[in-house]
A and B are shown apart, each in its own frame.
Chain A
Amino acid sequence: MASNEKFNFAQSVAEALADSQLRANFRFATDTLIQRRGTVFASPEETNFLRDVGSSMKKDVLANLPDLLERFEAKCIKNGIVVHWAETAKDANEIILSILNEKSAKKVVKGKSMASEEIHLNAYLEEHDKEVVETDFGEFIIQLCNEPPSHIIVPAVHKNRKQIAEVLAEHVEGMEYTEDVDIMLENVRNTLREHFKTADAGISGVNFGIVETGSLCLVENEGNGRMCTTVPPLHIALMGIEKLIENVEDIPAIYRLLCGSATGQRITTYFNMISGPRKKDERDGPKEVHLVLLDNGRSRIMNDPQLGDVLKCIRCGTCLNHCPVFTRIGGHAYGSTYPGPIGEILVPQLEGLNPKGAIATASSLCDACSEACPVRIPIPEIIRRMRDESYGHGDPNSVAGYGYKKNCVESMVWRGWKWSQTSPFMNKVMLKGLALFGKWIPVVGPLKSWMSVRSKPTFGKNSLKDLVKKEGVRHE
């Protein structure tokens, strides 16, 4: 979905729910990913301890973020990495384009990066005549169909094997339709190897930036990230300012949490730590490494101690897998780079409540996300906060679009509700009213929504208060 189309959440939800193939694909994927996570995090005690480690580590980073950023920057510069600061998505795109132009780079190979999705980098570079090739297998597929990722970790998970086979047959030269995964992979491998060889630059994200050593850590299984960051003469890394880890010794825990939560692995195939460009006698590696530090609203989020917790996120995607809503509507319905529970609390803050506040209604607040979150982000609490902010009940300075949903009808309803729940007399009137006239409540508004899939509720003749009196329970 292009970002400039008007976002209509209700419509995209309805479309997603109507697509039974999509629902089956997501159900299968989330079930599998939850089950795999369980193989690594089998012991609840150990897992909870490790989550404490991750949570305290990230909390500590956020509490000292500006100091750490300055230290990190200094280390990177010392290592020979060129550091750029981008306040907005636009800044980041322009910085990256100007680096490419300066090196006359035409063709770019890209590793998977959610930050680059966030700033819509590909579209921007393509508008400026750059050839951008996504090289993560899943990203490669969705780039062929001009779709955004539907999941933070497995971007093409909304497509099954047959659908992928069709895409490859249509777009990859010399490829015929086949459901044989080996043949699909071999073709893609050969196609992309040519691109790695001939690219002028590689762009990647960063999973962790280590302050102590000025290192950029990339976590991956495929090896395309290593190709992108090693074969071309120029490497540009894009990193959200919150992705710091203070010390090397912190890495094992946060890395295990990331792998275990994301894919149910103890470790990924490659853990790639880059601490500078090719040195004098070295024979490979990029001649220049640029790091673009992306703010894009993050520093504003840090202003609020509760909202700031969203910046602990390590983008493992496990909250998506555990979310019963995500499982049913998939990633695209959220209309943003970050779907699922983390999207519900991050996107409205990055893009404003209007239009993106609507996605915060897509949660039953079941807590399954926060139960799984490796860094213990209290996701449901921040979802509630998004809802508060939407109605103008919070901090007017914290999220753009504050109070956009404020309306007399709902305010009156809740005021009436409060009255009926704090005044014993009104409570009695309400209960009597429901008992007597409940069945004649017209089927409109909320009741109509309720009854779209459920029968009409039957209100009891007696309230508990009536029974208590009748049955002689001590009351006061």
Chain B
Amino acid sequence: MSSSAESRERILSRLYNAQQYGRDAYVPQKKVWTIRNRPKEKNITEFMERMGAVRTEVYRTKGTEWVAELQKLVEERGQKTLLHAPSTPTGKVLAEKWKKKSPCKLVTWKDSIEEFKDDLFACDGAVTGCIGGIAESAAVILWPTEEEPRLMSIVPPLHVVVVEADKIYTSFQDAIKKLKWNTSMPTNALLISGPSKTADIELILQFGVHGPTDLVVFITE
């Protein structure tokens, strides 16, 4: 095997030589795709509509009333455990308002994935916050943190996301600009649009293949 460094040299030198053609070649002016920002209400309506179209349950709630809504929802579905991050604003509200008698118990992530793996895979659901939503393409934006690790949004069969109404952006472009992705990219950044799905059998859309089977979004104001 040639070493990685030698390969690097050879690949780059071939490419730099090819540039003799490349620089002569006509490169058209780069065009940019822009979408004009819309008012907040329009964004929320479109977000709800489009998220609904990708089989996401979206609820618009005031203050902390989403906790009660969520509690009703998980109890109806017979969920036993709900993973949350009590040190985040979302998790804090959840822990405070959660009825202790609920058959669905709140669980917290302990230690690193290596230790927590079995428990994680046994969780029925997880609640996370997010840093925003996108109306035009129907997505929530998650930048997982130490408090809300990446796997919270992919392993448990139910994923609940709480998004602030003010943080629903018109477009992906706008979200990138407002959140300054180019300078503050986290280790892992995610767009999530609906529950996990596949169409590998006769192109029939089926939900819940590896990740969550259900995605629930609460818009809070």
| Contact, chains A and B (beta carbon distance below 8 A) | yes
- Could you tell me if A157 and B15 are in contact, using CB atoms closer than 8 angstroms? no
What chain A residues lie within 8 Å of B154 (beta carbons)? 223, 226-227, 230, 270
Please tell me if B114 contacts chain A, counting CB pairs below 8 Å: yes
Please tell me if B109 contacts chain A, counting CB pairs below 8 Å: yes
What chain A residues lie within 8 Å of B29 (beta carbons)? 56
Please tell me if B117 contacts chain A, counting CB pairs below 8 Å: yes
Shortest beta-carbon distance from B191 to chain A in Å: 4
Please tell me if A333 contacts chain B, counting CB pairs below 8 Å: no
What chain B residues lie within 8 Å of A196 (beta carbons)? 210
- For chain A, residues 227 to 280, give those with C-beta under 8 angstroms from any C-beta of chain B: 227, 230-231, 233, 241, 247-249, 251-253, 255-256, 263, 266-279
Known: A66-B12, A252-B173, A269-B194. A282 touches B33 (CB 8 A): no
- Could you tell me if B185 and A248 are in contact, using CB atoms closer than 8 angstroms? yes
Please tell me if A63 contacts chain B, counting CB pairs below 8 Å: yes
Known: A213-B181, A230-B151. A269 touches B210 (CB 8 A): no
Q: How far is the CA of A285 from the CA of B116 in the complex (A)?
A: 13
- Could you tell me if B211 and A252 are in contact, using CB atoms closer than 8 angstroms? no
Please tell me if B86 contacts chain A, counting CB pairs below 8 Å: no
What chain A residues lie within 8 Å of B199 (beta carbons)? 154, 221, 263
What chain B residues lie within 8 Å of A193 (beta carbons)? 121, 210
- Could you tell me if B1 and A224 are in contact, using CB atoms closer than 8 angstroms? no
What chain A residues lie within 8 Å of B118 (beta carbons)? 197
Known: A66-B12, A252-B171. A189 touches B149 (CB 8 A): no
Q: How far is the CA of A302 from the CA of B211 in the complex (A)?
A: 39
Shortest beta-carbon distance from B2 to chain A in Å: 6
Please tell me if A147 contacts chain B, counting CB pairs below 8 Å: no
What chain B residues lie within 8 Å of A60 (beta carbons)? 27, 30
- Could you tell me if B113 and A284 are in contact, using CB atoms closer than 8 angstroms? yes
Q: How far is the CA of A57 from the CA of B199 in the complex (A)?
A: 30
- Could you tell me if A33 and B203 are in contact, using CB atoms closer than 8 angstroms? yes
Query: B198 is contacted by which of A222, A274, A305 (Cβ under 8 Å)?
Result: A222
Count of interface residues, chain A, beta-carbon cutoff 8 Å: 101
- Could you tell me if A137 and B198 are in contact, using CB atoms closer than 8 angstroms? yes
- Could you tell me if B139 and A285 are in contact, using CB atoms closer than 8 angstroms? no
What chain B residues lie within 8 Å of A329 (beta carbons)? none
Q: How far is the CA of A206 from the CA of B173 in the complex (A)?
A: 21
B114-128 to A contact mask, C-beta < 8 Å, 1/0: 101110010000000
Give A304's nearest chain B residue, CB to CB.
Answer: B21
- Could you tell me if A256 and B137 are in contact, using CB atoms closer than 8 angstroms? yes
Give A275's nearest chain B residue, CB to CB.
Answer: B185
B163-184 to A contact mask, C-beta < 8 Å, 1/0: 0000000011100110001100
Query: A181 is contacted by which of B116, B136, B195, B204 (Cβ under 8 Å)?
Result: B204
Q: How far is the CA of A277 from the CA of B188 in the complex (A)?
A: 9
Q: How far is the CA of A95 from the CA of B7 in the complex (A)?
A: 12
Query: A53 is contacted by which of B33, B176, B196 (Cβ under 8 Å)?
Result: B33
Shortest beta-carbon distance from A27 to chain B in Å: 12
What chain B residues lie within 8 Å of A152 (beta carbons)? none
Q: How far is the CA of A218 from the CA of B195 in the complex (A)?
A: 17
- Could you tell me if A252 and B176 are in contact, using CB atoms closer than 8 angstroms? yes
Please tell me if B11 contacts chain A, counting CB pairs below 8 Å: yes
A335-362 to B contact mask, C-beta < 8 Å, 1/0: 0000000000000000000000000000
- Could you tell me if B191 and A267 are in contact, using CB atoms closer than 8 angstroms? yes
Q: How far is the CA of A308 from the CA of B18 in the complex (A)?
A: 10
Query: A63 is contacted by which of B14, B25, B190 (Cβ under 8 Å)?
Result: B25
Please tell me if A371 contacts chain B, counting CB pairs below 8 Å: no
- Could you tell me if B200 and A154 are in contact, using CB atoms closer than 8 angstroms? yes
Please tell me if B39 contacts chain A, counting CB pairs below 8 Å: no
Please tell me if A185 contacts chain B, counting CB pairs below 8 Å: yes
Please tell me if A303 contacts chain B, counting CB pairs below 8 Å: yes
- Could you tell me if B201 and A184 are in contact, using CB atoms closer than 8 angstroms? yes
Q: How far is the CA of A129 from the CA of B209 in the complex (A)?
A: 29
Give A62's nearest chain B residue, CB to CB.
Answer: B22
Query: A272 is contacted by which of B186, B188, B209 (Cβ under 8 Å)?
Result: B188
What chain B residues lie within 8 Å of A303 (beta carbons)? 14, 17-18, 21
Interface centre among B139, B199, B204 (most CB of A within 10 A): B199
What chain B residues lie within 8 Å of A300 (beta carbons)? 14
- For chain B, residues 13 to 57, give those with C-beta under 8 angstroms from any C-beta of chain A: 14-19, 21-25, 27-33, 50, 54
- For chain A, residues 158 to 186, give those with C-beta under 8 angstroms from any C-beta of chain B: 160-161, 164, 181-182, 184-185
Known: A185-B206, A193-B210, A248-B182. A70 touches B114 (CB 8 A): no
Query: A295 is contacted by which of B7, B145, B198, B206 (Cβ under 8 Å)?
Result: B7
- Could you tell me if A283 and B146 are in contact, using CB atoms closer than 8 angstroms? yes
Please tell me if A381 contacts chain B, counting CB pairs below 8 Å: no
- Could you tell me if A221 and B189 are in contact, using CB atoms closer than 8 angstroms? no
Q: How far is the CA of A189 from the CA of B155 in the complex (A)?
A: 11
- Could you tell me if A59 and B113 are in contact, using CB atoms closer than 8 angstroms? no
- Could you tell me if A32 and B15 are in contact, using CB atoms closer than 8 angstroms? no
Q: Which among A86-94, A443-451, A467-475 touches the partner chain? A: A86-94
30 CB-based A-B contacts, threshold 8 Å: A32-B203, A57-B30, A62-B22, A65-B19, A87-B11, A137-B200, A212-B182, A215-B189, A221-B198, A223-B212, A224-B209, A226-B190, A247-B182, A249-B32, A253-B32, A255-B172, A256-B137, A266-B136, A267-B137, A267-B138, A269-B197, A270-B192, A270-B193, A273-B185, A275-B185, A275-B187, A282-B145, A299-B18, A302-B14, A305-B21
Query: Top 4 closest A-B pairs, CB basis?
Result: A223-B211, A138-B200, A66-B15, A223-B196
Given contacts A226-B190, A249-B173, 20 further A-B contacts (CB under 8 A): A53-B33, A63-B19, A69-B12, A85-B5, A154-B199, A181-B201, A197-B118, A221-B197, A231-B113, A233-B114, A252-B137, A253-B33, A255-B172, A269-B54, A270-B192, A273-B190, A282-B149, A299-B15, A299-B18, A308-B21
